[in-house]
């Protein structure tokens, strides 16, 4: 009993070498070669398909990352615009407040100036009255 290449693992009765067995052996060898070639072709195709699918996945991942980065850039730009607008509003509010306080200060200063002028006018009248009184008494 020997192992036969066509049926691996099966024990077949050994035959004496003859013309029929040589032809069978040649046929079996050719069939084995064809099967090996087909197996190699299928393996290469699987490998090529694997590489193609991996490259497609990588390209898809790259495109997804590009989209996410673009969305993040848009979001960051929107947040920056919002921050600038808020800062502008705050500055405008602070400017208005400062202007209002300055206007109050100016109004107060004017009031004091008017009061000072009134006091000065009173003093001048008093001095004038004193001068007149001194002139009449001399």
* pLDDT tens-digit series, residues 107-121: 999 999 999 999 999
State the chain's mean pLDDT as an integer.
83
Look up the pTM and report it.
0.39
Nearest in space to 83 (alpha carbons), one of 93, 73, 91: 91
Asked whether the CA dihedral 89, 93, 99, 100 is positive or negative, the reply is positive
Poorest-confidence range of 11-15, 27-31, 48-52, 99-103? Answer: 11-15
Number of domains observed in the structure of the chain: 1
For 10, residues 6+ apart whose C-beta sits below 8 A from its C-beta are: 3, 4
Q: What is the pLDDT of residues 2-36, one digit of tens each?
A: 545 565 555 555 555 555 678 888 888 999 999 99
Q: What is the pLDDT of residue 10?
A: 59
* HSE-CB for 83 with a 13 A CA cutoff: 6
Q: What is the pLDDT of residue 32?
A: 92
Show the CA angle centred on residue 134, arms to residues 131 and 138, nearest 5°: 145
Query: From CA 103, how far away is CA 110, in angstroms rounded?
Result: 10
Query: From CA 61, how far away is CA 74, in angstroms rounded?
Result: 20
Give me the domain span that covers residue 130. Answer: 2-137
Confidence of residue 1 (pLDDT cuts 50, 70, 90): very low
């Amino acid at each position: 009993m020997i192992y036969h290449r066509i049926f691996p693992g099966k024990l077949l009765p050994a035959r004496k070498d003859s013309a029929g067995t040589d032809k069978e052996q040649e046929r079996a060898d050719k069939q084995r070669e064809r099967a090996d070639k087909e197996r190699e072709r299928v393996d290469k195709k699987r490998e090529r398909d694997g590489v193609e699918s991996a490259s497609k996945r990588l390209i898809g991942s790259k495109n997804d990352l590009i989209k996410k980065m673009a969305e993040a850039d848009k979001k960051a730009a929107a947040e920056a615009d919002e921050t600038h607008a808020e800062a502008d509003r705050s500055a405008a509010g602070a400017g208005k407040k400062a202007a209002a306080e300055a206007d109050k200060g100016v109004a107060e200063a004017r009031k004091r100036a008017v009061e000072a002028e009134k006091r000065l006018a009173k003093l001048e009248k008093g001095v004038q009255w004193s001068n007149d009184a001194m002139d009449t008494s001399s």
